Structure 1
Amino acid sequence: MPLFDVLPPDLFKPLASSSRRLYADLLLHLHHRTFTLSGAVPRRADVIAEIDAFLARRAPEDARLEDEGPNTKAEERARTAYERLVETGWLVEYRERYLKLVDLDPEASGLLHLLADIERGDTLSYGGAVLGVLSALESAASDPAERSENLRNALRGANEFMTHMRTVSVSLRQAEERILRQPSLREVFRHFFESFVERHLIRDFKTLHTRDNPFRFRGGIIRQASVMGESAELVAALGAAYAREGRALDAASGEARVREELGIVSAVFEAAEEHLAGIDATVARIERRIANTARYMDRIQHRSEVGLVDAMKAVAAAKSDEIPVSAALLPRILPLGPVHIPAPRREKPAITRTVLTDRAPDPAALRYARAKEEYVRRTRVTPERLTTYLEGALAERGEMRGRDMPIGSVDDFVAFQRLREIPSIFNGALAKRYEIVLLTERCANDWISCQDFLIRRREPADTGEASQNAA
C-alpha cells in the first residue's frame, strides 16, 4: 500500500502503546497550538515547553507515560515524550545556524490533519455538498479552458458525498445491532436515544427529510454531466486543459479522463436513491423494534419466566446443599395450568363462489375522462402551439407589441400569457426564432392586464449567431 511506503515505519508505535490516549491528545494539541497557528518554525526548547505545559494540565493518572518511573520529574517527562515523537518519526529536527528547530514530518502532518478532522467530528452539509458539485460542473462547462479544475472538484465532492452517505448507513446498522444486543429495557432505550436519536436522527438522517431536501439538485447534476459528456467540443476543450495543466499525458487521454469523471459523477448521484432507501429501511426497523419494546414492556417485566430464571440463578449460586425457603414464599398455584393452555384455532369458513359480471362503464365517467383530457390539452402549452399562435398573429409583419396581439379564444389566451417566458421555456427552442423585449408600459385587454412587450422574428443571421454562442 503506498501509504506505508511514505510514512515512517515506527509512526504508529505511540498510538499503539499503553499511553496511546495521551500521545494522541498531545499530537493534536501540538498540531493546533504549536505548528498550525505559528508562521515560523518553532525552536526545540519551545516545543518541549509546550509539551511540559500540556502534561501539567492533565490529571496525574492521565499524564503517565509507558516508560515513566515512579519519581520522574515533570521536565524529564516532557523530554521523554518529545524524544519518543522524534524517534517514531512524528517530529523532525534540523539546525538553522546555531538554532535547533523542530517541525512535523510532511507525511505525518497530512495524517495528523485527517486525525484532527475525525476528532472534530465535522458533519457534512448535504445541501452544500450537492450544490457544490452542481456549481463546479456549471463552472467547468462555462469556461473549460480556465476552470477545468472544477470538474475534478465536482468528482471529489461527489465521492465525499457518497462516502458520507455510506457512513451514515453503516452507522445506523451498527446502532441497530447495539440496540438488539442490550439485556435490559433500560439499556435498550438508553442506546436508542444515544446511538440513534442524538447521533443520526437529529443530525444526519433528519437532513435528508427536510423541506429543502438537497436531493432536489440531483436531477440537475445528472443532466449537466450528461450534456457535458455529449458535447464533443466541450470534452475536447476540457481534455486539452487537462493535458496543459499536467493532469493527463496528452489531449486524447485528457478527453478519456474527462468522460470517465463525468460518468462517475452521474453514477454516484444515480445510486444515491438506493442508499437513501437502505437508510430508510434501517430506520424503520429500529423504530419498529422500539415500538414493540414499549408496547410489551409491562409483560416483559412481570413474566413468570423471569422469576423462575432468577430463582434458578440464586440456587446455582448457593454454596451449601440446603437452602432455607420460607413457606410464605412458596407458590400456591402451579406456574402453568389450564388457564395458560391456548384455545384451539377455529376452523376457517369455506370460501363461497361468487359470480363475476362485466359491467358497462358509466357514461358519466367516460364524459368526465374526455373532459379532463380536453382540459389538459387546452391548458398545456407546447412549442408547436406557441409557434402557431405567433405565426398567426404576426402574419407578414416582423414584429408586434403585446397590446396589439389578438386573443379570440381561451386557447389564444393560454398561449398569450406564456409569451413572456420564451427566453427560458423549452430549453430556449423558441428563443432561437423569436426575440422578446419587455417594455415599461402595461397592456390590457378583455382577458388580462400585464406588462407590455415587443416580440419580433429573428433574422437567419441572428439565429446562426445565437446557436454559435450557445455552442
Structure 2
Amino acid sequence: MLFSHLPDEIFQALSGSNKTLIEAVLKDLADVFYDHAEDPIKDKSTIIESIEDTLHKLDTLSWHEDQKESFDSPKTIHDYALRIYHRLVNTGWLVEEQELYRVSVLMTPQISMLLRSLVEISSHGKRNYGATVLSILSNLEAVAKQPKERGVTLRQSAEAAREFSAHLNQILLGIRSLQRELFASRDPKAIVSGFFDLFVEGILIADYKTIKTSNNPFRFRRQILELTQDFLANPTTMGQVAQCYVDQQLITMAEAQAMVEQDCRDILKTFNNIEQRLERIDEYRYRLEKRAADTARYMDSSRPGMATKIAGIISDVAKFDHLPVMKQVVGSRFVGMASAAQPTKRREAPPPRIMTPAEVSADAIKFRDQQRRFHEARQVTVAKMQTYLEKQMASSTQKHILDFTISSVEDFVCFDHLRYIGSLGVSAKKLENVFEIQFTDQFVDVHDFVECREFNVVRRSEA
C-alpha cells in the first residue's frame, strides 16, 4: 500500500487549524535533520530550541484548540514550542528515544523521505539542466570506455533522464493551468503579477533562454543518442553492463539485462522527443507572454492615474456578457483607434533546408590551381632569391647582369628584386653578407625583356 509505512495520524498535524505553524516548523526541522555533517539523532533540547527559533521569525502566533488536551493554552514562545513538539510526536513526525535520563529525537527513514519530498514541492522553482545533460553525457562516455567498472553509472543517467522528462511534463502542465487561471482573471494587476511570480520565478527553467542559442543545454543530444544506440547494438557491451548491474544490485542476469535495455530505451525516448515537447512548452509560453504584455501595455501610461482608469474600464467591460457599443471612443486619445496596440508577431522558425553539395567543374578547379600557382610564383621570399643566386653564380665570384638567365616566372621575379635586396628587411641581411650588388650609371636591355640599371653581383669573400 502507498501509506502502509506511515503512521495513520501523520497528516492530522497538517490538516488542523494550526497547520501554518506546523508547516513553518517542519520546514526548518528539515534543515536540522538533513545536516549531513552531524548526527541525525538530536537532543530534545536542540529540537525545542529550533522550534523556538522558527516561532521567533513569525509575525503573529495564535493557537487553536482542535481537540481537548491536558496542556494549558500556550502563552510564551516556549509554551508554543512545547505544544508543537508534542503535536509532532503524537502524530508520528518525531520519534523519542530515552536512554537513562537522556531523551533523543529522530525521524524514521519513511518520515524523512516524506518531509524531504514535501519541502521540495514547496520550494519548487527554476532548475538548470545544462549540468544535468552534461552529467548524462559524461556517465555514458564513462560506460563506453569502461563498461565493466563504470556500467552502474548508466542507471544514474537513466534516472536523470527520467527526472528531466518528468520535470518537462510538470512545466507543460503548470503552464497550462496557469494559462487557464490568468485567462479567467479580470484583474489586470493580478494577470501581470501572476505572470512574473508564478511563471517566470516558479515554472520556467533557469536556462530556458539558452535553448535557442548555440550554447543550449541540449547541444550534446546527438552524442547521447549515439552512445545509447551503440549500447543497444553491441551485445558485448550490454553483457558487461548487465554483469555490473548484477554485482551492484545482487539480481539475476536476466533481470539485469532487462533493466539495462529499459534504461537505454528511456534515455532514447527522452532525448528523441525533446524538440516536440519544447515546442509545445514554447507555444504555451508565447500565449502567456502575449497576454501579460497586452495587459501591461494597456496599463502603462505616463498620465497620472491613467493606469487606474484603464484598469477600471477593463474590469467594468468584463462584467458584460456582450460588449457594449462605445460610440464616443473613437475620438478619445487614450483608448482611441490610434492607441490600439498591435500584438507582437511570433517569430516562426525557418523551414528546414536540405543541404546538397555543390558540384564544381573540372575546368574551374584547373583554373583555380593555375591562379594559385601563379600567385605563389609571384611571391618574393629570401629563400627563393638565395636559391636563384646560388644557381646563377655557381662557382663564380662575379657575374654581370647580362649573364643571368630568366627561364620562369620565379626567375624573373627574383631577377627583378636583386636590385632591392637592401630594402627587403632584416631577413635579407644574410644575402647581403654573401653577395654585393655593384651598380653603374648606364641602363641596359636584358634579353629584350626588361630595361634596368647595369649592375654586377660579386660574391663576398669569407674574410
- The interval holding the TM-score normalised by the smaller chain is 0.5 to 0.7
The equivalent residue for 1:24 is: 23
Q: Which amino acid aligns with 1:284?
A: Y
Whole-angstrom distance in 2 between the partners of 1:308 and 1:151? 58
CA RMSD of aligned residues (A): 4.1
Residue 285 of structure 1, CA deviation:
2.0
Cα pair distance change 1:308/1:105, threshold 3 Å? closer
Residue in structure 2 matched with residue 374 of structure 1 by the alignment: 360
- Cα deviation for residue 282 of structure 1 reads 0.9
Separation in 1, partners of 2:311, 2:58: 48
Q: Retained in 2: the 8 A contact 1:126–1:207?
A: no
| Shift in CA distance, 410/86, structure 1 to aligned 2, threshold 3 Å | farther
Per-residue CA deviations over 1:430-454 (Å, capped at 9, x if unaligned) read xxxxxxxxxxxxxxxx9xxxxxxxx
**Separation in structure 2 between the aligned mates of residue 48 and residue 192 of structure 1, nearest angstrom:** 40
Structure 2 CA distance for aligned equivalents of residues 228 and 374 of structure 1: 40
Q: 1:200–1:206: 8 Å Cα contact kept in structure 2?
A: no
Q: What's the offset of the Cα at 1:144? A: 1.8
Deviations 1:360-391 (A, max 9, x none): xxxxxxxxxx9942279x99xxxxxxxxxxxx
Residue type matched to 1:18 in 2? S
State TM-score, norm by structure 1: 0.60
Q: How far apart are the structure 2 equivalents of 1:310 and 1:236?
A: 68
Q: Distance in 1 between matches of 2:318 and 2:254?
A: 74
Question: Aligned-pair distance for 1:71?
Answer: 5.8
Greater share of residues in helix? 1
- Greater shift, 73-82 or 273-282, is seen at 73-82
Structure 1 residue 232: Cα displacement: 0.6
1:104 aligns with 2:107: yes
How far apart are residue 189 of structure 1 and its match? Answer: 3.0
Question: Which is further off, 216-225 or 98-107?
Answer: 98-107
Report if the CA contact (8 A) 1:8-1:89 is conserved: yes
Deviation at 1:160, TM superposition (A): 1.1
Instruction: State yes or no: 1:85 paired with 2:88.
Output: yes
- Residue 265 (structure 2) aligns with: 263
Deviation at 1:184, TM superposition (A): 3.4
1:41 and 1:287 map into 2 onto residues whose CA distance is: 49
User: Any idea what the Cα deviations from partners look like across 1:10-53, whole Å, max 9, x if unmatched?
Assistant: 11111111211211111122221366263262222332343344
Checking the alignment, whether the CA contact within 8 Å between 1:304 and 1:335 is kept in structure 2 is: no
Among residues 241, 255, 276, which one is paired with 1:274 in the alignment?
Answer: 276
SS at match of 2:97: strand
Deviation at 1:159, TM superposition (A): 0.8
> Which ranges in structure 2 are unaligned for 5 or more consecutive residues?
300-305, 331-355, 373-409, 411-463
Secondary structure at 1:95 match in 2: strand
Q: Whole-Å Cα distance in 1 between the matches of residues 173 and 289 of structure 2?
A: 17
Match status 1:194 vs 2:193: no
1:20 is matched by which residue type in structure 2?
A: K
Taking the aligned partners of 2:280 and 2:317, their CA distance within structure 1 comes to: 41
TM-score by length of 2: 0.61
The 2-side partners of 1:229 and 1:180 are apart by 47
The offset of 1:81, in angstroms, is 1.5
Amino acid at match of 2:4: D
Distance 1:155-1:201 versus aligned 2 partners, 3 A rule: closer
Corresponding residue number in structure 2 for 1:287: 289
SS in 2 for 1:100: strand
What residue in structure 2 maps to residue 165 of structure 1? Answer: 168
**Equivalent in the alignment of 2:348:** none
Letter in 2 for 1:82: Y
Cα separation, 2, equivalents of 1:143 and 1:270: 25
Letter in 2 for 1:227: D
Q: Secondary structure at the match of 1:15?
A: coil
Larger relative contact order (Cα-Cα within 8 Å, sequence gap ≥ 6): 2
Instruction: Decide whether the 8 Å contact of 1:43 with 1:102 is kept in 2.
Output: yes
Q: Work out the CA distance in 1 between the residues paired with 2:11 and 2:311.
A: 52
Alpha-carbon separation, structure 2, partners of 1:371 and 1:274 = 29
Q: How many residues align?
A: 331
Is 2:241 the partner of 1:241? no
Q: 1:280 to 1:87 in 2, by over 3 A?
A: same
Matches within 5 A, 1:63-462: 66=66, 72-121=75-124, 123-200=126-203, 203=206, 205-246=208-249, 248-249=251-252, 251-290=253-292, 293=295, 301=310, 372-374=358-360
Structure 2 contact 245–251 (Cα < 8 Å) conserved: yes
Mapped partners of 2:312, 2:110: distance in 1? 60
Instruction: Give distance in 1, aligned partners of 2:94 and 2:286.
Output: 49
CA distance in 2, matches of 1:26, 1:294: 39
Structure 1 pair 254/66, CA: closer, same or farther in 2 (3 Å)? same
Contact 2:74–2:80 at 8 Å: present in 1 too?
no
Q: Which amino acid aligns with 1:14?
A: A
Task: Measure the CA separation in 2 of the matches of 1:210 and 1:175.
Answer: 27
Call closer, same or farther: CA 1:157–1:409 in 2, change over 3 Å.
same
Measured in 1, the distance between the counterparts of 2:120 and 2:315 equals 47
Contact 1:247 1:254 in 2 (8 A): no
- For 1:79 and 1:9, the matched residues in 2 are separated by 22
Partners in 2 of 1:216 and 1:122 — Cα distance? 24
Match of 1:61 in 2: 61
Judged with a 3 Å threshold, the aligned counterparts in structure 2 of structure 1 residues 93 and 310 are, in CA distance, closer, same or farther, namely closer
Mapped pair 1:13 → 2:12: yes
SS at match of 1:6: coil
Whole-angstrom distance in 2 between the partners of 1:110 and 1:258: 27
Following superposition, the deviation at residue 154 of structure 1 comes to 0.4
The residue type equivalent to 1:25 in the other structure is A
CA contact (8 A) 2:192 2:296 kept: no
Q: Using the alignment, how far apart are the partners of 1:202 and 1:238 within structure 2? A: 33
Name the CA distance, whole Å, in 2 between partners of 1:296 and 1:57: 40
Q: Percent identity?
A: 27
Shift of the 136–410 alpha-carbon distance from structure 1 to 2, 3 Å rule, reads farther
Structure 1 letter corresponding to 2:22: Y
